[in-house]
Amino acid sequence: MKEFRFRIILILGAVALSLYLLYPTYADSQNTKLINSKLEQFRDSLRTTNPELSEDRFERLVSMREDEIFASNPDFRDAREKRIKLGLDLQGGMYLVMEVNTAKLLEKLAKDPDQKFLEILNEAEQQAKIEEVNVVSILAQKLQQNNIRLSRYFGSIRQDDSEIISSLEDQESDAVTRAIEIIRNRVDQYGVSEPSIQRQGARRIIVELPGISKEEDAKRLLQGSALLEFKIVRDADFTIQVMNAVDNKLAELLKSPSDTVNVGDTTAVEDMTEEQFAREHPFFSIAMINPQSPFADAFVRQSDRPKLESYLVRPEIQNVIPDNVQFVFWAKPEATQDGEEIYRMILVNKKAELTGGVIVDAQSNIDPQTSAPIVNMQMNSEGAREWARITGANIDKRCAIILDGVVYSAPTIRNKIPSGNSVIEGIGDLTEAKLLEIVLKAGALPAPVDIIEERTVGPSLGQDSINQGFNSTLIGLFLVAIFMIFYYSKTGVIADIALFFTVLFIMGILAGFSATLTLPGIAGIILTIGMAVDANVIIYERIREELSTGKTIRAAIQSGYSNSYSAIFDSNITTFFTGVILYQFGSGPVQGFALTLMIGIACSLFAALVVTRVVLDMMAAKGMKVNIG
């Protein structure tokens, strides 16, 4: 048995690993069932208690409740992250390819564009639609043909055409970066689960939004221009006051009748158990405040955010918050604690002091004196006038820079800024500075994007596809297995075991890579089932041949295998190559197919060359009768 030990450990290890990798997928499907039943209960109770709730609001509350359930148990999230993901074609959702509209961007960038310029730009745009050339270079070429220097419209007079062209191309690339940031920001706020936003090539953005059904909502989300606002942050005393009011009101609202006994309980704060504290101070237990800090900024765990937001939108709570202020969250997490992201929340004036239209430009830099990252910001004359007034009146207060409703930065105003040229300091690192630059520019220079491809799959088609794919896999597996037993009898069973392991390994590897399973991907698995027996068939046929020359079974297995290697490798490597090419060519679903096909080839080879071999060798070693059909 010793000679088999290594291989058996290898096989058992592979099986154990596959099962381990697949467990989250199983757990997630169980969790989903549980969550869905809870949500159904919630829906029913909501319908009976608040029958006049509008549909939008109803759905929003349900989705908040879902987030809350999800956040309540870290295992749920863990399983969700590690499961085999389903592609958009299986779970439904939207796939969009967007392209930055360079022509519109150029029109915005041009200094006093005249009729002639617009005509040429239009021609360039039309031409770019047919040819694979950049609008910028076509425009430059056309302007040159008309004997117009680029500096007539862009840059400064001293720059020559090539300098301007390269700066315009930079602007174009910046616009894509900006558009991605705006989209990511909004998608995050909108609460789409597992969105994917990628840059493709120079000017394209691919967005995948699973589970979105109202297309127009999603498209507005992606296309509308961004709203950049400057809002004054309220001071700590006032903020604490508001928070206290909210906390008290919440405690009152959440108190169940049985708790009334505890009213008047004078236990000191430090003696309270966590549970008690949470009951007495529902707001402060999830929106934590640093007592050492001069600011009253609250810090909220990612998992508590949905709960907090659902508290804050309650009409009773809205009533205790003054009309002219609002709570806003930071766009990016402040820090992570125990693997969980912490967000900062502040109280700002509802009315914006200034909106982003006045910003002319922004650059991130390194301060030569302190070598700390800074961002320079310039405003137009109208903005500068307003800015001087605002900064003058709010010295030592903080001013939040808010894009589409979330805060990116809240620097303190040090002194009155008369010229509109401001320097923002106190930024963590250069990446953060770069992000702030993008955000500031987003207000000034919208990045016009066009949707050039749009695919939506409804949830019912996705579910049908899952069922059909699953059934086809089972039927295919069953038929092939029966055939193998029929044709190779006992050794057919061994081939079937190898086949079963192949499918198990494929699924395990898919889960391990957290790959996305698409409908063509399922087709790839089904096809692999048919082709996976190939290596076994080659080997079995070869062993039969060797047996017919009068060899013993052990020798026949030995030479059967060694004579099959070259055929098996050469044929599978060529097929594997086509898989690689397919992966390069395709997008989304087709890549899923290529991936399962390639993984399938590798797994079926392992199963035939290791699993089947061990079983055959062991049978021969024990002197059992090996009957190849």
Partner 1 sequence: MRIFQNTNFDFLGKRKIAYIFSGLFLSIGLLSLLFRGIEFGIDFKGGSEIALEFEKPIQISEIRDYLSDLGLGNVEVKTFGGETGILVRSELQEIPNELFPKVIETLEQIINKNFPDINFNLVDSTRASVTYQINDKDKLESIIRTLFQNGFQATKFSQEEDNDKFIVRVGISDWIQENLLANMPDNKFQVLKEDNVGPKIGKELKRDAVVAVLLALVVILVYLGFRFKFVFALGAVAALFHDVLITLGVFSILYNVIPGLNLEISISVVAAFLTLVGYSINDTVIVFDRIRENIKIHKTAPLEDNINKAINKTIPRTVITSLTTLVVVTVLLFFGGEVLRAFAFTLFFGILIGTYSSVFVASPFVLEYAKRIKKGIQF
Hey, which residues between 11 and 40 contact partner 1 (CB under 8 A)? Answer: none
Residue 169: CB minimum distance to partner 1, A = 20
Nearer to partner 1, 303 or 491 (CB): 491
Beta carbons of 282 and 311 less than 8 angstroms apart: yes
Least separation in angstroms between CB 207 and partner 1: 14
Which 117-146 residues touch partner 1, going by CB under 8 A? Answer: 129
Strands 399-403 and 406-409: antiparallel
108 binds partner 1 (CB under 8 A): no
Smallest separation (angstroms) from partner 1 to the CB of 529: 5
Interface pick for partner 1 out of 574, 621, 624, 627 (rule CB under 8 A): 574
Q: Are 592 and 520 in contact (CB under 8 A)?
A: yes
3-state secondary structure of 623: coil
Q: Which of 117, 230, 299, 593 binds partner 1 (CB under 8 A)?
A: 593
Residue selected from 374, 424, 484, 619 as contacting partner 1 according to rule CB under 8 A: 484
Alpha-carbon distance of 315 to 320, in angstroms, equals 9
Q: Per CB under 8 A, which region of 4-12, 33-41, 337-345, 453-461 contacts partner 1?
A: 453-461
Q: Is 324 in the site for partner 1 (CB under 8 A)?
A: no
Q: Whole-angstrom Cα distance, residue 466 to residue 482?
A: 24
DSSP string, 522-553: HHHHHHHHHHHHHHHHHHHHHHHHHHHTT--H
The yes or no reply on residue 527 touching partner 1 (CB under 8 A) is yes
559 near partner 1 (CB under 8 A): no
Q: 372: which 2 tokens?
A: 């700390």
* Residue type at position 463: Q
Does position 325 bind partner 1 by CB under 8 A?
A: no
As a dihedral over the C-alpha atoms of residue 328, residue 330, residue 336, residue 342, rounded to 10 degrees, the angle is: 0
The Cα–Cα gap between 99 and 96 comes to: 10
Beta carbon of residue 530, minimum distance to partner 1 (angstroms, whole number): 4
Rounded to a whole number of angstroms, the minimum distance from the CB of residue 486 to partner 1 is 7
Q: How far apart are CA 231 and CA 413, in angstroms?
A: 12
215 lies in the binding site for partner 1 (CB under 8 A): yes
Q: Quick check: 486 binds partner 1 (CB under 8 A)?
A: yes
Q: How far is the CB of 59 from partner 1 (least distance, A)?
A: 12
**CB neighbourhood size of 538 (10 A):** 19
Contact flags string 163-202 toward partner 1, x per CB under 8 A: ----------------------------------------
Asked if 60 touches partner 1 (CB under 8 A), the answer is no
Among 475, 552, 621, 627, binds partner 1 (CB under 8 A): 475
Residues that bind partner 1 (rule: CB under 8 A) add up to a total of 81
Binder of partner 1 out of 210, 282, 443, 579 (CB under 8 A): 579
Asked if 463 interacts with partner 1 (CB under 8 A), we say no
Coil, strand, or helix at residue 283? coil
CA distances from 272 to 72, 246, 275, 279, 364 (A): 22, 20, 8, 10, 48
The answer to whether residues 486 and 533 touch, using CB atoms and an 8 Å cutoff, is no
The pair phi, psi for residue 546, each rounded to 5°, is -65, -40
Using rule CB under 8 A, residue 483 touches partner 1: yes
- Rule CB under 8 A: choose which of 33, 111, 116, 214 binds partner 1: 214
- Residue closer to partner 1 (CB basis): 320 or 485: 485
Q: What is the smallest separation between the CB atom of 439 and partner 1, expressed in angstroms?
A: 19
Out of 53, 62, 317, 451, which residue is the one contacting partner 1 (CB under 8 A)? 451
Q: Which is nearer to partner 1, 299 or 561 (CB)?
A: 561
455 Cβ neighbours under 8 A, 6+ residues apart = 88, 94, 95, 96
- Which of 15, 454, 493, 554 touches partner 1 by CB under 8 A? 454
For partner 1, the closer CB: 362 or 557: 557
Cα–Cα distance measured from residue 584 to residue 591, given in angstroms and rounded to the nearest whole number: 8
Long-range residue pairs from 357-360, CB within 8 A, at least 24 positions apart, any chain:
357/383, 357/443, 357/444, 358/382, 358/383, 358/384, 358/386, 358/387, 358/420, 358/444, 359/228, 359/383, 359/440, 359/441, 359/443, 359/444, 360/444
Does residue 538 touch partner 1 according to CB under 8 A? yes
Does residue number 585 form part of the binding site for partner 1 (CB under 8 A)? yes
Q: Which residues of 84-101 are buried (b: 16+ CB within 10 A; e: fewer)?
A: bbbbbbbbbbbbbbbbbb
Q: Choose one: 38-46, 165-173, 257-265, 480-488; the region binding partner 1 (CB under 8 A).
A: 480-488
Per CB under 8 A, does 497 bind partner 1?
Answer: no
Shortest distance, position 445 Cβ to partner 1, whole Å? 19
Single out the segment in contact with partner 1 by CB under 8 A; choices: 218-226, 327-335, 381-389, 430-438.
Answer: 218-226
Q: Which of 376, 456, 558, 559 binds partner 1 (CB under 8 A)?
A: 456
Contact status: 558 vs partner 1 (CB under 8 A): no
- Per rule CB under 8 A, is residue 150 in the interface with partner 1? no
Pairing of strands 287-289, 204-210: unpaired
Q: Which two tokens stand for residue 400?
A: 């939040």
Closest distance of CB 89 from partner 1, Å: 7
Rg (CA), the chain: 32
Nearer to partner 1, 142 or 455 (CB): 455
Q: Judged by CB, which is closer to partner 1: 253, or 567?
A: 567
Spatial separation of the C-alpha atoms in residues 299 and 296, rounded to whole Å: 10
Structure tokens at 571: 């044929």
Query: H-helix or E-strand containing 464?
Result: helix 459-512
Residue 367 contacts partner 1 per CB under 8 A: no
Q: How far apart are CA 89 and CA 592, in angstroms?
A: 11
Select the residue interacting with partner 1 from 3, 44, 56, 367 (CB under 8 A): 56
With binding defined as CB under 8 A, does residue 530 bind partner 1? yes
Q: Is 589 in the site for partner 1 (CB under 8 A)?
A: yes
CB 417 within 8 A of CB 387: yes
**Should residue 479 be labelled a site residue for partner 1 when binding is judged by CB under 8 A?**
yes
Q: Nearer Cβ to partner 1, position 251 or 495? A: 495
Among 12, 335, 452, 624, binds partner 1 (CB under 8 A): 452
CB of residue 519 to partner 1, shortest distance in Å: 6
Residue in 53, 590, 610, 618 binding partner 1, rule: CB under 8 A: 590
Question: Comparing C-alpha atoms, which of 459, 33, 511 is closest to residue 210?
Answer: 459
Q: Report the nearest approach of partner 1 to the CB of residue 314 (Å).
A: 17
